[in-house]
Amino acid sequence: MPVYQLIADPLFPPVELAEDGGLLAVGGDLSPRRLLLAYSMGIFPWFNAEDPILWWSPDPRFILELDDLHVSRSLAKVLRRGLFSVTFDQAFGQVIRACAQVRAATEGTWITPAMLASYERLHEMGYAHSVEVWRDGELVGGLYGVCLGRCFFGESMFHRAADASKVALVALVERLKARDFELLDCQMPSDHLTSLGARSIPRAEFLKRLRRGGVMPSVQPQAGDFP
């Protein structure tokens, strides 16, 4: 399959035209209109700093069913001990920068300065959200993502203390369940998230679940009820 070169207008080809690995298109920009359209269509950006913008829609898609979150005995013990406190949307900029720093130090990062600016703009618009985990007043873990309708599209997480990112995920899932969300999108498979209960589903099923969660293709989709 060809990889499509995007034009200036915020448009994407059908996701069914993606390559086997999920790569769909290249180019375009990171404007809110294009990003929101991408997420509403089941597409996300993912690229290295030296690459052009790359857009992906893998098949299968990796998700976490909210009722399937696996909390180990050790994690349950950490939660009971109350070692951490959790907030929502109190330090979005700190969280996304921490995710960028941690990944850059270990494996390289796609959270470039342009990505930082774009997602901070989505946060200001009410679409991007963060979960912060604190210990003794210090930010030690967290995650961020995009919320549309009743679906949350996870982007990245970090930890500076053992189990802090898992605590953030548990808090997020509890928040989403309380608001009757459809699913938590995890994008690409990872051993870490598999151990927490995430699994792969066919892309066609994922797209149906987005629609069931109130996410329709649009450059200005409905923001999710997250706060």
The span from the CA of 134 to the CA of 105, in Å, is: 22
Average of pLDDT values for 21-34? 96
* Total number of residues shown for the chain: 227
For residue 39, being part of any structural domain is answered with yes
Judge if 17 and 114 occupy the same domain.
no
Query: What does the pLDDT read at residue 127?
Result: 98
Contact (CB, 8 A) for 129 and 122: no
Query: pTM score, two decimals?
Result: 0.95
Contact (CB, 8 A) for 142 and 102: no
For residue 225, being part of any structural domain is answered with no
For residue 226, being part of any structural domain is answered with no
Query: Among 89, 107, 83, which residue's Cα sits nearest to residue 190?
Result: 107
The residue range of the domain holding 84 is 62-212
Judge if 128 and 175 occupy the same domain.
yes
CATH number at residue 124: 3.40.630.70
**Residue with the two structure tokens 């797209």:** 207
Judge if 67 and 56 occupy the same domain.
no
For residue 221, being part of any structural domain is answered with no
pLDDT higher than 60, residue 104: no
Query: What does the pLDDT read at residue 1?
Result: 62
Alpha carbon 69 to its chain's center? 16
Contact (CB, 8 A) for 154 and 226: no
Query: What does the pLDDT read at residue 79?
Result: 96
Contact (CB, 8 A) for 134 and 84: yes
